[in-house]
Amino acid sequence: MSDLLEMTLCEAADAARAGQVGAVELLEAALAAVERHDGRVNAVIAIEPERAMAEARALDALPADRRGVLHGVPLAHKDMFHRAGEVSTYGSAARSTRRMQATAPLLTRLDGAGAVSFARLNMAAFAMGPTGHNPDFSRCCNPFAPARITGGSSSGSGAAVAARFAYGALGSDTGGSVRLPAACCGVVGLKPTQGLLSLEGVMGLSESLDCPGPIARSSRDLARMMDVLDRPGHEAAVLQDIRGLRLGLPTSYYCDDLHPEVRDNLDRAAAAFRALGATLVPVAVPDHSAYADLADAIWKPEAAALHLPALQSGPGALPEQARARLMQGLATSAVDYVRARRLRSLALQDMLSGPLAACDALLVPAMPRPVPLAAEVEAGSGDAMRHNLAAITAFTRPLNFLGLPGLVTPSGLDRDGVPLAIQLIAAPRQERLLLQLGHRFESETGFNRLRPDLLAWSALFY
C-alpha cells in the first residue's frame, strides 16, 4: 500500500479513473499511513472514516464515464473548512463540539470531482501563527525533521501531504499560511490571487487578506485541483514550454540578509530555470519595509471585529495567544486602518508598473533563512522569537498585502536535510503561469519527489 501513496495526486486520480486501483484501496492506504505515523507527526485532528469509506465505495461503483478528474483521491483539509453536520475546531478545543450548518463551496467542488475528504488537519488556533504550535492540539511536527517547524498556520496541511497521508489539502493564507508549510515541509503550495477562490464556509480572519489555497506534491497536482476549485485550463497550461519567459531576480528586499545556504540555493534555482530556456533579468522592487505594519493595521481590526463575540464572552472562548492578538485589533485606529487600505492599492500599482512590467514572474526565496528549530520560536524565547517570526514571514506577507498570487515549490535540502524552497510571484490571475513555471522546475530538478523517512526518527519518540 505504501507504493500507492508515492503516486502524485494526478497519478492516483488517473489510475482510479482507469480502474487500475480502487477508491477504497486508496483510502485504506491513507488511513493506514495516518495510523502508523501520525503519532509522530501530529498533523491530524480528527478522521471521518465512516463517511469517507461510504463515499469511496460509492465512487468505486460509478461507471467510467461518470468518474471525475479527482476520482477516488483521498484529501484532508485544514480544520476551518466547514462541512455540514461535522465539527470545525479552528484549531481550538473550545470549538470541539460545534457542528457546521453548511458545507464550504470549495469542499463541494472537490467532492463533485470525486475526491474523498477523510480528515481534518491541525492548524494554529484561529489561524494565528506561522510555526505549527498549538496549545490545545500540540505542535505539528515537520516530517523531515521533528525538531523543526512545519510553518503555519496550515501546519497540518503541509505535514500531511509531505508525510503521504493525503495527496492534497486545502489551507488558508493570510500572511503565508499555505506557502510557509509548503516551504518547510518540502511540498508545493499556491496562494491564488486575492478573491479568486470562495471564502464562504471558511473561518474568517481578515476579509481583506484571507485567501484559500491548495497544497500538494507537484504543481501539476495543484493545477488539477485549481481546475476544480476555479475553472478548467490550469493543468493544460502547465505542459507548455517556458522558453523565452522572463524571470525577475530582485535587486533589493528579497535578496537582503539572506542566509548563505538560501542564497546559494536561489542561485542554483536560477541556473535551472536558465537551462530550461527562461531569461533571468534583474529587477528593482519597491520598498516593502512598511508592508508588515500596514498589513497588521488591516488584519488585526478585521479579525477583532469578526471574532468580537468570542472576545466579549470571556477568556475561555479563545486561546490566550489568540485573544491577545485580537485585542490588539481593538486598539487599531480607524485612521490607521483606512490609510493602510489606501496605501495597499498604491503599492500594488507600483509593483505592476515596476518589476512585474519588466518580467513575467519574480523568482525569490520562500524564506530568508533555513527552517528554524521549533524551540527558536516558542513563547518565552524573547527577542530571538520575535526576530525569527519576522524572518519566517518576511517574503510571504507582502503578497497578501498586495493581493498577488504566489507559488512555493521545493528547491533542495539544507545541510541538515531539511527542505529549502523558492517562491514564484506574478501579476493577478497569473496562476497558470506560476504553475507552468513550477511544473517545469519540478520536472527538471525532482526536488518535489523528495520524501521524509518517518521511520528514521521514530526512536526520538519511542
pLDDT over 50 (residue 243): yes
pLDDT-derived band at 386, boundaries 50, 70, 90? confident
Rounded distance, CA 149 to CA 139, Å?
9
Per-residue confidence (pLDDT) for residue 48, from 0 to 100 = 95
Question: What is the arithmetic mean of pLDDT over 103-116?
Answer: 98
Second-level CATH architecture of 2-289+341-460: Alpha-Beta Complex (3.90)
Angle between helices 334-353 and 291-306 (to 10 degrees): 130
Q: Is a pLDDT exceeding 70 seen at residue 285?
A: yes
Q: What is the mean pLDDT of the chain?
A: 95
Residue 212 has pLDDT above 80, yes or no: yes
Look at residue 459 and tell me whether its pLDDT is greater than 60.
no
What is the grid cell recorded at 460? 526520538
Residue 460 pLDDT exceeds 60 = no
Q: Which tens digit of pLDDT belongs to each residue from 155-175? A: 999 999 999 999 999 999 999
Q: What is the mean pLDDT of residues 10-14?
A: 98
pLDDT category at 1 given cuts 50, 70, 90 is very low
Catalytically annotated residues: 78, 153, 177
Whether the Cβ atoms of residue 82 and residue 102 lie closer than 8 Å to each other: yes
Task: For residue 44, give Cα distances in angstroms to 48, 132, 137, 138.
Answer: 11, 12, 9, 11
Tell me the pLDDT band of 387, cut-offs 50, 70 and 90.
Answer: confident
pLDDT, mean of residues 14-26: 98
Degrees to nearest 5, angle at CA 339 with 335 and 340: 120
Contact 226, 216 (CB under 8 A): no
pLDDT at 36 over 50: yes
**Domain map of the chain by residue range?**
2-289+341-460
209 pLDDT above the threshold of 60? yes
Mean pLDDT of 233-239: 96
Listing from the earlier edge strand, what are the strands of the sheet with 419-425?
44-47, 116-121, 74-78, 168-172, 212-216, 188-191, 406-413, 419-425, 361-365, 246-250, 279-283
Q: Which three cell numbers stand for residue 394?
A: 518576511
pTM greater than 0.85 (yes/no): yes
Range list of β-strands (E), 196-313: 212-216, 246-250, 279-283
CA atoms within 13 A on the CB side of 137: 29
Q: pLDDT band for position 219 (50/70/90)?
A: very high
Mean pLDDT (whole number) for 346-363:
98
Question: Residues 6 or more apart from 279 whose CB is under 8 A from it?
Answer: 244, 245, 246, 247
DSSP conformation class of 393: H
Q: Is the pLDDT of residue 461 over 60?
A: no
Q: For 294-327, write each residue's pLDDT tens digit.
A: 999 999 999 999 999 989 987 778 888 889 999 9
Across the range 406-421, mean pLDDT stands at 98
Binning pLDDT at 50, 70 and 90, where does residue 458 land? Answer: very low
**455: pLDDT confidence band, cut at 50, 70 and 90?**
low
CB atoms within 10 A of CB 307: 21
Grid cell listed for 309: 463575540
